Amino acid sequence: MSSSENNTRILVVEDENEVRESYLDMFQFFGYQVDSACNGREGIVKVTKENYEIVVTDLNMPEMNGMEVLKRIKKLKPDIEVIVITGYATLENAVEAMKVGAFDYFTKPVDIEHVRIVLYKCVQQIKSRRENEELRNVNTKLREINELKDKFITITNHELRTPLTVIKGYLDLIDIFMEDKKDPELAEAVEVIRSSMLEMVDVVEHLHDLSYFDYGKKKISKQYIEVQKLVESVYNEMKVLFQKRGIEFHLNAQESSMAIMGDGERLKRSVRELVQNALKFTEKGGMVELSFYVKEEANKLFIRVSDSGIGIPGDKHALIFEPFYEVQDSMHHTTSKTDFMGGGIGVGLTLVKEVVSAHGGEVMVNSEPNRGSIFTLILPIET
């Protein structure tokens, strides 16, 4: 007997003492918690005061018959399941009772095995209804939280943009004022403000892009992109950061006039995102390679970033593309924040995936802990 059956409370409504007692014994023997009422009126009073999951009622009773008991219960507490008891001669009453919401019926004299099965089915139905209800509630909550998150992102993004523009404007002014003074301490302080501001700009840009894409709804505009130029410019922009951290950084690209149609700025940002991650998650002395190649037969372009870094466990490969997900606690990133404009907020790969799928492509990840990672953007070549 499962614990849910043990916790199920059943009320037996039956006017004949002996029959009532026999039901009580039988249900107790099955492991249910049982209570009884000796007529319909008492039954209804008990239903209003107590919490039962199931009511088993005789149909043929003086004062208030079982049909009336059933109707009142369904009105008062529709979640209670009602099983009616009837004789063979009055089977049509049981059918009537089913029409107004009875779960099932027992015929007199009762067959114990049949009763056991009907009660078991009834408990299962109650259980699955409750589970469904819980799932519905959790779903509604999740939807609300998601909407709240989207709203939060939009508001934060909007509210941060204006003060950042003001800060940037004043920093440029300070630069002009300082030109004659040449105060090294002041210059250093301004540099710290500038790099912190750039970290914030980076976060705001990511949030902006996240609400821009709104998970796959936004289309991108396409221009003619020379792939080699795009990859080389990311390489050139970022190689100094690798030098600073003592990581080898290679570009592996043969001369190519390969071109695709796409959103150049967003694709470049996506490649930069992968390279930044490789930089972040590779220790000093490690190696990162940026490359691209074409598979003519498939009409596909592959842009690949491989690193010899810390790697990602297999069960996290899908999760890293979820917004705000980070395998490691971001407090423990090995690189200092200033080296790559902010420690990251866990949306980089979400955006990469959005951008690439807006181009009809996909992102592939191959990675193992302590052996490094390979991220590949696979893009269709439009002819």
Binding residues for ligand ADP (CB under 6 A): 273, 277-278, 281, 307, 309-312, 320, 325-328, 344-350, 373
Among 252, 311, 301, 305, residue whose Cα is nearest residue 276: 305
Instruction: Tell the smallest beta-carbon distance from residue 160 to ligand ADP (Å).
Output: 17
Using CA atoms, how far apart are residues 379 and 356, in angstroms rounded to an integer? 7
> What does DSSP assign to residue 317?
T
What does the DSSP 8-state code read for residue 12? E
**DSSP-assigned beta bridge partners for residue 251:** 290
The residue (of 40 and 372) whose beta carbon lies closer to ligand ADP is 372
Shortest distance in whole angstroms from residue 144 CB to ligand ADP: 25
Which contiguous run of DSSP H or E holds residue 375? Answer: strand 372-380
Rounded CA Rg of the chain? 35
**Of 27 and 281, which has the nearer Cβ to ligand ADP?**
281
Ranked by CB distance to ligand ADP, the top (closest) residue is 344
Question: Taking the complex as a whole, how short is the minimal distance between the CB of residue 214 and ligand ADP, in angstroms?
Answer: 17
Distance CA 193, CA 167 (A): 9
- Closer to ligand ADP by CB, 182 or 332: give it: 332
Beta carbon nearer to ligand ADP, 169 or 285: 285
The span from the CA of 226 to the CA of 230, in Å, is: 6
Q: CB of 326: closest distance to ligand ADP in angstroms?
A: 3
Question: Closest by alpha carbon to 296, among 208, 380, 175?
Answer: 380
**Cβ proximity to ligand ADP, 271 vs 320, nearer residue:** 320
What are φ and ψ of residue 350, in 5° steps? -60, -45
Nearer to ligand ADP, 300 or 333 (CB): 333
Instruction: Provide the minimum distance between the beta carbon of 345 and ligand ADP in the complex, in angstroms, as a whole number.
Output: 5
- In this complex, which beta carbon is closest to ligand ADP, that of residue 138 or of residue 319? 319
> Residues 6 or more apart from 247 whose CB is under 8 A from it?
279, 282, 283, 284, 285, 286, 287, 288
Q: Which residue number, 46 or 316, has a Cβ lying nearer to ligand ADP?
A: 316
Which amino acid is present at 91? L
Q: How far apart are CA 186 and CA 194, in angstroms?
A: 12
Give 110 or 327: the residue with its C-beta nearer to ligand ADP.
Answer: 327
Q: Which residue has the tokens 């800060």?
A: 167
CA distances from 192 to 17, 175, 202, 281, 322 (A): 89, 13, 15, 24, 32
Of 41, 39, 45, 47, the closest CA to residue 11 belongs to 47
In total, the chain counts a number of residues equal to 383
Taking a C-beta distance cutoff of 8 angstroms, is the pair 230, 271 a contact? yes
